[in-house]
């Protein structure tokens, strides 16, 4: 599918409040063999998502330690996760320490997932991922570990106000770019 048709289809699914605010842009290089071009998602004429652009104002993590030490990331833990730590312990552990251990375990898993998603995004082909988005259900796109699929789903008109508001807890475990588009969508409702 040509870029212009793909762009039209993606823009036809934009939430009404985001039309004119969110744009899909593409640049291509006709005479450079190894450079296929880049795609961007712009908000108010600023390139917000430029695949692997480390110069954007959205934080791109370089290591798991950065993710674990980021005070902006909240890791919610359930009683079941605390009980799992309690079960794996060889002796009695104070209750407050159990929660710290559960958060530490979950933040390690979260950091690994976020680094993997970020690596996949830098290697991804926007056109391929956008076509996948168009042929997959909204639920699958929202639950996917692919950052770009999450972003495209969050700006989609098929995702309603109630679903956006109910995602507040799960969105905390997503990459900052996904959180940015979730907040953008909440502000425009």
pLDDT tens-digit profile of 88-106?
887 788 888 888 888 888 8
Mean pLDDT across 67-84: 84
* 67 inside domain: no
Q: What is the pLDDT of residues 20-35, one digit of tens each?
A: 999 988 776 555 554 5
Residue 114 has pLDDT above 90, yes or no: no
* 140 inside domain: yes
Q: What is the pLDDT of residues 48-73, one digit of tens each?
A: 887 654 545 566 677 778 888 888 77
* 74 inside domain: no
Question: Ranked by mean pLDDT, which of 17-21, 53-57, 174-178 comes out on top?
Answer: 17-21
* 123 inside domain: yes
Q: What is the pLDDT of residues 128-169, one digit of tens each?
A: 888 899 999 999 999 998 888 999 999 999 999 999 999 988
- pTM for the full predicted model: 0.71
Query: Residue 184: what are its φ and ψ, rounded to 5°?
Result: -60, -45
What is the longest distance spanned by two Cα atoms in the chain?
Answer: 67
Residue 49: per-residue pLDDT: 81
Mean pLDDT across 83-91: 85
Q: How many domains does the chain have?
A: 1
* 127 inside domain: yes
Name the average pLDDT for the chain: 83
* 81 inside domain: no
Residue 59: per-residue pLDDT: 67
Comparing 29-33, 117-121, 164-168, 185-189, which segment has the lowest mean pLDDT?
Answer: 29-33
* 143 inside domain: yes
Residue 41: per-residue pLDDT: 87
* 169 inside domain: yes
Residue 57: per-residue pLDDT: 56
The answer to whether residues 118 and 147 touch, using CB atoms and an 8 Å cutoff, is: yes
Q: Which domain holds residue 174?
A: 56-62+115-187
């Amino acid at each position: 599918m040509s870029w212009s048709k793909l762009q039209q289809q993606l823009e036809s699914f934009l939430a009404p409040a985001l039309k004119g605010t969110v744009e899909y842009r593409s640049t291509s290089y006709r005479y450079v063999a190894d450079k296929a071009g880049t795609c961007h998602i712009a908000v108010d004429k600023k390139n917000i998502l430029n695949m692997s652009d480390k110069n954007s104002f959205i934080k791109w993590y370089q290591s798991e330690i950065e993710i674990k030490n980021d005070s902006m990331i909240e890791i919610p833990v359930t009683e079941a996760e605390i009980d799992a730590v309690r079960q794996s312990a060889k002796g009695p552990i104070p209750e407050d320490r159990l929660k710290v251990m559960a958060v530490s375990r979950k933040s390690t898993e979260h950091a690994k997932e976020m680094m993997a998603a970020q690596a996949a995004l830098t290697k991804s082909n926007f056109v391929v991922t956008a076509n996948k988005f168009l042929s997959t259900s909204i639920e699958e796109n929202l639950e996917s570990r692919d950052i770009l699929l999450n972003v495209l789903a969050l700006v989609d008109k098929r995702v309603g106000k109630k679903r956006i508001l109910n995602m507040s807890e799960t969105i905390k475990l997503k990459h900052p770019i996904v959180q940015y588009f979730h907040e953008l969508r909440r502000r425009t409702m």
